[in-house]
Amino acid sequence: MTVTELNLALFVCDTPPPDVYKNHGTYINIFDKAFSKGGAKVNWEGFNLVKMEYPTNVDKYDGIIIINSMEAAYNDKPWILKLVNFIQDLRENHKAVKLIGICFGHQVINRSCGGAVQKNPSGWEFGHTEVVLTPDGQKFFDTDRTSFTLYEAHQDHVYKLPPGFRRLGTTDPHTHVQLTASEDGQILTSQGHPELNHNIIEILMTSRCEEGILSEEFTNERLEKLKNNPAEEMGTIWMIKNFIKFFRGELSLK
């Protein structure tokens, strides 16, 4: 397998829950393992956005990944507004720098570019989930497959696309916009988590249930589905490989 070397900035908006950190380390550790499985050697540099940490020179990176947060992307906390401004500046002045957003990152990028985000009236989407590719999604990823599987962990969603963006994937009727890409090729976003593995999503669901965020009935049903359907074999590694292709400039809507 040919190994791709990338220089990436990881924009961290949260800290891993204690049991995730104990078993899997930091978010850089988690992403590094996922990208290694996809065939990439990554030189990572992490930035804590909540502490207002940002790179002084974004142009030295092959790309940036904005990841998850417990905060809502439609909130106007100072660190979120600073991130919105950063994304808008990247779009205007650093068009060669690729940008990927995952979960909160997906939502805040779409917000920053003129889309809209809200709490999903369908409620939580958690665990092993089949994402159906749209015709634009099949074109972008250059694939005949009609769907793939990711781990989901969200209750907010993008309900309006920004101008110049296409919808690549969906879990209708629950979440209409699961994947987006900008028509100019700079941005790719995913509501689902290709970086997560079976154990991490199990820890997240269990902890959310213990905190009273998820009901016991919902959690048990999702854990049972998770036990019988590991998403790693169904799509997460495929999606990570597509992230790598995206950073290499190999994916396009054109």
Domain span at residue 66 reads: 4-247
Q: What percent of the chain has pLDDT over 90?
A: 80
Domain-located, residue 252: no
pTM of the model: 0.94
* Res. 86: pLDDT tops 70: yes
Q: d(Cα 46, Cα 179) in Å, to the nearest integer?
A: 24
Q: Tally the domains of the chain.
A: 1
Q: For position 223, what pLDDT does the model report?
A: 84
Confirm whether 163 is domain-assigned: yes
Average pLDDT, the chain: 94
Q: Is residue 166 part of a domain?
A: yes
Q: Is residue 243 part of a domain?
A: yes
- pLDDT value at 231 more than 60: no
* Res. 1: pLDDT tops 70: no
Per DSSP bridges, beta strands 116-119 and 156-160 are antiparallel
Calculate mean pLDDT across residues 142-154. 94
Residue 253 in any domain: the answer is no
Q: For position 63, which CATH number holds?
A: 3.40.50.880
**Distance, CA of 67 to CA of 76 (rounded, Å):** 18
Give the Cβ contact number of residue 210 at 10 Å. Answer: 11
| Cβ proximity of 46 and 12 under 8 Å | yes
Quick check: is 133 in a domain?
yes
**What's the pLDDT band for 234 if we cut at 50, 70, 90?**
low
Rg (CA), the chain: 17
Select from 111, 118, 117, 119 the least CA-distant residue to 162. Answer: 111
- At residue 229 the predicted structure's pLDDT band, cuts being 50, 70 and 90, is low
> Is residue 254 a part of any domain in this protein?
no
- What average pLDDT does this structure show over 10-38? 95
Quick one: pLDDT at residue 181? Answer: 99
Helix or strand holding residue 125 (H, E): strand 125-133
**209 in a structural domain:** yes
How far apart are the C-alpha atoms of 208 and 200, rounded to whole Å? 12
pLDDT at 173: 95
Q: Give the per-residue pLDDT at 56.
A: 96
Listed residue (244, 193, 226, 168) closest to 27, CA to CA:
193
Going by pLDDT thresholds of 50, 70 and 90, the confidence category of residue 207 is: confident
Exposed, middle or buried, 127 (CB in 10 Å: 0-12/13-18/19+)? Answer: buried
Cα 171 to the chain's mean position, in Å? 15
